[in-house]
Amino acid sequence: MEYDKQVKNRLKRIEGQIRGILRMMEEQKDCKDVVTQLSATRTAIDRTIGVIVSSNLVHCVKNPEEHGGKTPEEVIQEAVNLLVKSR
């Protein structure tokens, strides 16, 4: 699968959030603030997973010959399994 610039930019933003959290920890910031930022990062990761899975799902349904000729139902089930597994 080819990942577009938008997805890569999302991950770069998440990377920046993680660096910010580490800096907060080094500066002994309040745990509530650290947890808030960790939660925001987790949400951003979850959304990125959703974008990747949905993009892949669309591609697989439109191009079944590239993916072993799986039926749309099989492709959808795999996507659902990926989303469930990510939580």
CATH number, domain of 34, equals 1.20.58.1000
pLDDT exceeds cutoff 90 at 70: no
pTM, full prediction: 0.82
Are residues 73 and 81 in contact, defined by beta-carbon separation less than 8 angstroms? no
| CA proximity to 56, closest of 12, 44, 64, 11 | 64
Residue 73's CB: how many other CB atoms inside 10 A? 9
**Selected residue with higher pLDDT from 42 and 68:** 42
Domains held by the chain: number: 1
Residue type at 29? K
d(CA 13, CA 74): 33
pLDDT at 79: 86
pLDDT exceeds cutoff 80 at 73: yes
pLDDT exceeds cutoff 90 at 84: no
pLDDT exceeds cutoff 90 at 6: yes
Are residues 26 and 59 in contact, defined by beta-carbon separation less than 8 angstroms? no
